[in-house]
Structure 1
Amino acid sequence: MHSPLSRSNPDKPALVDGHDQYTYSQVDLEVQRFASGILANAEDLNEERIAFLIPASPEYVTVMHGIWRAGGIAIPLNTASAEAELEHCLTSTSVKRLVAVAPFLERIRPLCDKLAIVLSSVAELLSDNLKPMPELSADRRALIIFTSGTTSLPKGVVTTHKNIKAQITTLVDAWAWSENDAIPLFLPLHHVHGIINVLSCALWAGATVHLMQKLDIEKLCAEAVKGTYNLFMAVPTIYVKLIDHLESLDAATAQPIKAAFGAMRLNVSGSAACPVAIFEAWQQLTGQVLLERYGMTEIGMALSNPYVGERRAGYVGQPFPGVTVQLFSEDHQPVTEASASGEIRIKSDTVFLEYWNNPKATMDSFRDGWFCTGDIAVIEEGYFRIMGRSSIDIIKSGGYKLSALEIEGKLLAHPAIAEIAVLGVEDRTWGESVAAVVVLREGQTLDIDTLKTWCEGKLSSYKLPKKLVIIPELPRNAMGKVVKPKLKALF
């Protein structure tokens, strides 16, 4: 797999960037020019790790695919990262070359100088002297994506060409991608959701990707009304922003936007649990039944509600074809009892090769050939429901194992609550007690007693929050996941 770029319709637009369009043949030529330039006098990059700091743009595609074609390992960096985070990514992978575009070129230059990394612009590396490309085996390393690092320092997740192909083809088949599809891309491109689920699936299928360097809700809605997109993938926080935007408009302005989203063939939500209230609000506004799925940097996508069939609010569906999923108990036995919870473990060609230069972490994450996700789930009527991360979202209180995600979903329906994070805090009596960190809606107030009263009949007594802290905003990572360890200090 030189690079997963469709060649079925060379004159079709692959990328749209503002007023500019780039056909598949134009993209392919730029990739070839970049690959030739970065090879210079070599015949093969031989898995050299090359980092790049580029937002959603044609240059991003040129560089990532060019590195792949030339036999290198692509390391996309987060354009919003602080310097210390970038330094961790670069030093842990021993990067010697970095490619960037303005304004990131000047921003990253001092760090590159400090680490003796050769910094280049994309234009500098484009060559008109096109070279033959090396033959690449499927098992060759292709990509290092860093984990979101919500519980520890980000780890470099290494995927091979075989892994990437499996991740893409799984989704292209399951979600019926075709060259007739058009999708906006505003998700961060240092993460599997943006790289694989949107960009790579689209380019594999011969679809058109509309690039947005940052999310602009009004522009997105205006393009949707024009019928620009028939496919939409986002994280729950973006659906919240869209719902708030639609509810702020008068009926005549909102109606065509609702109809436009309703006319799309598919709306997907992922990267964080979608609260049932958001699922239902979106359905009520647009008629779209969100397709929620489950995946990780290490495994691509593993579970999904069906493209054709019942999509259940609060559930992430069933395993994709070719992905074997099993729940395991704390003593590593397969869970066979109906509705009993267990850790999700995965076997599939989509599962990553290793954590870069971290054999201990790699070994610890596998058991008997299964990748251990650390996520706890139950299976109810054949559909998986995620209870949360074993280390963060499972609260062990008075002999019960409580799902923080379930409690968050219930409390989010409170009229005063805009956002919420539920976590377990140390408690002498209960082991852990339920604590809630809340962002209030404008002009609202809330205290723990009022919240407990409101919860009567909605939550079992042992699930009620015993502590409440109100803050102006929740700490989130680039994919919109709340960084819960930062909230522990509030208690």
Structure 2
Amino acid sequence: MITLIERANSFTDRIAIKSDSQNYTYNQLLEQSTSVAAHLLQDQKDLNQARIAFLVPASFSYAAVQWGVWKAGGIAVPLCEKHPLPSIQYVLEDTKATTVIYTEAFEELLSPLFNNTTIQFLNYADIAPKKSELPKISLDRSALILYTSGTTGLPKGVVTTHANIEAQITALTTSWEWNKDDHVLNVLPLHHVHGIINMLSCALWSGACCQFLPKFNPKAIFDIFLKDEVNVFMAVPTIYFKLITYYNELPPSEKTAISQHLSRFRLMVSGSAALPVSVLEEWKEISGHILLERYGMTEMGMAISNPYNGIRRPGHIGQPLHGVSIRLADENDQAVNEGEPGEIQIKGPNVFKEYWEKPDATAESFTKDGWFKSGDIAIYDQDSYQILGRNSVDIIKSGGYKISALEIEEVLRTHPQIKDCGVVGIPDLEWGEIIGASIILKHGELSTDELTKWIQEKLPAYKTPRTYIFQEDLPRNVMGKVTKNEIKKMFTS
């Protein structure tokens, strides 16, 4: 049985979710998710791991759909609200999704697909109360497919089982001491583990409350904090940077009030990208909290964390979470000596099952003895891991997203005036990195405004280059390979 859902029966009258200015109990979540499952099953006894995609805003409806898919025996495929249609279509085609559940806000975006595909499109508003006999779901079944960019360019579907998800949840609820009186504000998109697992699922596992603010707004966030309901907050460094900027513009009396309320929080976490020490220190001045930094990936949930109780060192990610094994290894997958840099490799029940229908990519991501290769380089220093960087220059970490430079390059090369290009991450205090593109034109001129408008129709906004340089040719080594570090220097010099 799916333990996460079963546990909700112990909290039926408690508030599970606050969204759209309404409170929803665990009992309402159980009932609505059963209605979703019944509509998906129709006359079937079990969806048997059919892929059910959904484009639903961060809300009670999202949780009900996700649980409904699982209750019916399907694999949940959450779609990104900010993706353009080609990106959504790619996920639907790659997963061979049988059904898409959507809300009215996304009807216009999805409408071109309604009559051009065999996929069934189901408007969430049409799901009326309904009951059905539900299948028994074993924990070894696949539960979730989330898409992550990799060095192959195109996003890969990361498949996790119900057992993987349970291990990811319990690693955090144990290590971070979640309890039923917690109340977390979730301002992150729900197509990443940060929002889905770290906040929504950990809260629901614990009988706690998850409150949604679908659109980021610093004033709205501080207004919620001033009500003294929220006691847990998690965000990416970019969000903390924006909150600090807003806070610094407030009059002294408002600053004092906010700081007093923040000091009462139980836990504040930063993740998905490296936290600049300056941001950590300024937030500490504002809130009295040293942000808890942790480390994870779509493929494993969270794996390493600074202690809930104990010393948190700036620039460090801490120790392995409950139930997770970590080692640092060299390029031959041999463990390095303490104090030497190596690739973070992970073992544990939290590690994903496979990349969807990509057996070669799955095999390549594991060592012969079963360790998952993260691609991140770290050093073990004074009883704590410290990230040194990525062993691939083709992954850009910006605003909590991991973005494939190769994917952006492939799109740019389809422009009729572009001969070649090189995309890199440029260090940035607010975003961690911003995307820069070096462009080689075939002929004539091309304005950055024209190029930006063109690419925004092809890719999500967070994958759009923020700055460009135009060159005669790309820097290359003697083997003819583009030297990305040389491109980076051109942007930063």
TM-score (norm 1): 0.81
Q: Which amino acid aligns with 1:63?
A: V
Deviation per CA, 1:102-124, whole angstroms, max 9, x where unpaired?
A: 11123112134333321111232
Q: Which amino acid aligns with 2:265?
A: M
* Other-structure match for 1:113: 115
Aligned residue pairs total 423
Say whether the 8 Å CA contact 1:185–1:211 is kept in structure 2: yes
Q: Give the Cα–Cα distance (whole angstroms) in 2 for the partners of residues 164 and 124 of structure 1.
A: 29
* Other-structure match for 1:70: 72
1:357 aligns with 2:360: no
Say whether the 8 Å CA contact 2:151–2:394 is kept in structure 1: no
Q: Give the Cα–Cα distance (whole angstroms) in 1 for the partners of residues 362 and 17 of structure 2.
A: 36
Q: Give the Cα–Cα distance (whole angstroms) in 2 for the partners of residues 89 and 485 of structure 1.
A: 28
Say whether the 8 Å CA contact 2:17–2:25 is kept in structure 1: yes
Q: Which amino acid aligns with 2:393?
A: I
Alignment of 1:197-236 (within 5 A): 197-236=198-237
C-alpha change, 1:382 and 1:125, in structure 2 (3 Å) is same
Alignment of 1:31-42 (within 5 A): 31-42=33-44
Q: C-alpha displacement at 1:481, in angstroms?
A: 9.4
Question: SS at the partner of 1:278?
Answer: helix
C-alpha change, 1:141 and 1:479, in structure 2 (3 Å) is farther
Q: Give the Cα–Cα distance (whole angstroms) in 1 for the partners of residues 305 and 463 of structure 2.
A: 19
1:95 aligns with 2:61: no
* Identity within the alignment, %: 43
Question: SS at the partner of 1:7?
Answer: helix
* Other-structure match for 1:331: 332
Q: Give the Cα–Cα distance (whole angstroms) in 1 for the partners of residues 467 and 349 of structure 2.
A: 32
Deviation per CA, 1:412-439, whole angstroms, max 9, x where unpaired?
A: xxxxxxxxxxx9xxxxxxxxxxx99477
Which of the residues 6, 9, 13 maps onto 1:7?
9
Question: SS at the partner of 1:15?
Answer: strand
Question: SS at the partner of 2:274?
Answer: coil
Q: Give the Cα–Cα distance (whole angstroms) in 2 for the partners of residues 147 and 363 of structure 1.
A: 17
Q: C-alpha displacement at 1:479, in angstroms?
A: 12
C-alpha change, 1:14 and 1:44, in structure 2 (3 Å) is same
Deviation per CA, 1:31-68, whole angstroms, max 9, x where unpaired?
A: 11111111110000000001000110111111100000
Q: Give the Cα–Cα distance (whole angstroms) in 1 for the partners of residues 429 and 209 of structure 2.
A: 39
Question: SS at the partner of 1:33?
Answer: helix
Q: Give the Cα–Cα distance (whole angstroms) in 2 for the partners of residues 480 and 342 of structure 1.
A: 30
> Structure 1 stretch 312-321 or stretch 476-485: which is displaced more?
476-485
Question: SS at the partner of 2:82?
Answer: coil
Alignment of 1:63-462 (within 5 A): 63-128=65-130, 130-148=131-149, 152-336=153-337, 338-367=338-367, 368-392=369-393, 437=426
Q: Which amino acid aligns with 1:179?
A: K
Say whether the 8 Å CA contact 1:237–1:480 is kept in structure 2: no
Q: Which amino acid aligns with 1:86?
A: I
Q: C-alpha displacement at 1:88, in angstroms?
A: 1.2
Q: C-alpha displacement at 1:149, in angstroms?
A: 5.0
C-alpha change, 1:226 and 1:151, in structure 2 (3 Å) is farther
Say whether the 8 Å CA contact 2:160–2:352 is kept in structure 1: yes
C-alpha change, 1:87 and 1:214, in structure 2 (3 Å) is same
Task: Give unpaired runs (5+ residues) of structure 2.
Answer: 399-404, 406-423, 431-448, 470-483
Question: SS at the partner of 1:114?
Answer: coil
C-alpha change, 1:393 and 1:379, in structure 2 (3 Å) is farther
Question: SS at the partner of 2:263?
Answer: helix
Question: SS at the partner of 1:103?
Answer: helix
TM-score (norm 2): 0.80
Task: Give unpaired runs (5+ residues) of structure 1.
Answer: 395-403, 409-422, 424-434, 442-470
C-alpha change, 1:439 and 1:198, in structure 2 (3 Å) is closer
Q: C-alpha displacement at 1:316, in angstroms?
A: 0.4
Say whether the 8 Å CA contact 2:326–2:347 is kept in structure 1: yes
Deviation per CA, 1:223-269, whole angstroms, max 9, x where unpaired?
A: 10110200000000000011111111111111111222221010000
Deviation per CA, 1:147-173, whole angstroms, max 9, x where unpaired?
A: 145872110000001000110111111
C-alpha change, 1:159 and 1:437, in structure 2 (3 Å) is closer
Deviation per CA, 1:263-315, whole angstroms, max 9, x where unpaired?
A: 10100000111111111111112110100000000001000000000011100
Q: Which amino acid aligns with 1:16?
A: K
C-alpha change, 1:437 and 1:343, in structure 2 (3 Å) is closer
C-alpha change, 1:227 and 1:160, in structure 2 (3 Å) is same
Question: SS at the partner of 1:169?
Answer: helix
Q: Give the Cα–Cα distance (whole angstroms) in 1 for the partners of residues 355 and 115 of structure 2.
A: 27
Question: SS at the partner of 2:302?
Answer: strand
Q: C-alpha displacement at 1:3, in angstroms?
A: 6.2
Give the CA RMSD over aligned residues.
Answer: 2.9
Question: SS at the partner of 2:146?
Answer: strand
Question: SS at the partner of 1:16?
Answer: strand
> Structure 1 stretch 145-154 or stretch 271-280: which is displaced more?
145-154
C-alpha change, 1:178 and 1:163, in structure 2 (3 Å) is same
Question: SS at the partner of 1:113?
Answer: coil
Q: Which amino acid aligns with 2:213?
A: M
Q: Give the Cα–Cα distance (whole angstroms) in 1 for the partners of residues 313 and 468 of structure 2.
A: 31
C-alpha change, 1:180 and 1:276, in structure 2 (3 Å) is same
* Other-structure match for 2:420: none
